[in-house]
Amino acid sequence: MRKLVSYLLFITVSVLIGAAWYIFMVPNIEGAKKVSIKIPTGATYSDVLNLLRQNEVLHNENTFDIVSRSKNYPEQVKAGYYIFSRTMNNRQIVNMLKSGLQTPVTLVIYNIRTKEEFAGLVGRTLEIDSIKLLAKLNDPEFCRGLGVDTNKILSRFIVDNYEFYWNVSMPKFFEKMSTSYTDFWNNPRKTKADAIHLSPTDVTILASIVEKEVIRDKELPTVAGVYLNRLRIGMPLQADPTLIFALRDFDARRVNSRHKEYDSPYNTYMYPGLPPGLICMPRKKSIDAVLNAEEHEFLYFCANPDMSGYSIFSKSFEDQTKAAILYRKKLNQLNVH
> Taking all residues of the chain, what is their mean pLDDT, rounded to a whole number?
91
The domains of the chain are located at 21-99, 106-184, 187-296
Residue 336's pLDDT is 81
pLDDT at res. 32: 59
CATH superfamily name and code, 21-99: Endolytic murein transglycosylase (3.30.1490.480)
Name the pTM for this structure: 0.89
What is the per-residue pLDDT across 119-133, written as a single tens digit (0 to 9) for each? 999 999 999 999 999
Report the sign of the C-alpha dihedral through residues 189, 191, 195, 197, in that order.
positive
pLDDT digits (tens, 9 = 90+) for 244-260: 999 999 988 888 889 99
Residues 213-217: what's their mean pLDDT? 96
Question: What's the CA angle centered on 325, arms 282 and 331, to 5 degrees?
Answer: 65
- Residue range 21-67, pLDDT digits in tens: 445 456 878 765 779 999 999 999 999 999 999 999 998 999 999 99
Examine the pLDDT at 19 and tell me if it is beyond 50. Answer: no
* CA-to-CA separations, 276 to 53, 225, 264, 265, in angstroms, rounded: 50, 20, 10, 7
Is residue 185 over pLDDT 90? yes
Q: Mean pLDDT lowest for which of 21-35, 40-54, 97-111, 189-203? A: 21-35
Q: Give me the percent of the chain exceeding a pLDDT of 90.
A: 82
Q: What angle do CA 157, 203, 138 make, to 5 degrees?
A: 40
Which tops the pLDDT comparison, 217 or 27?
217
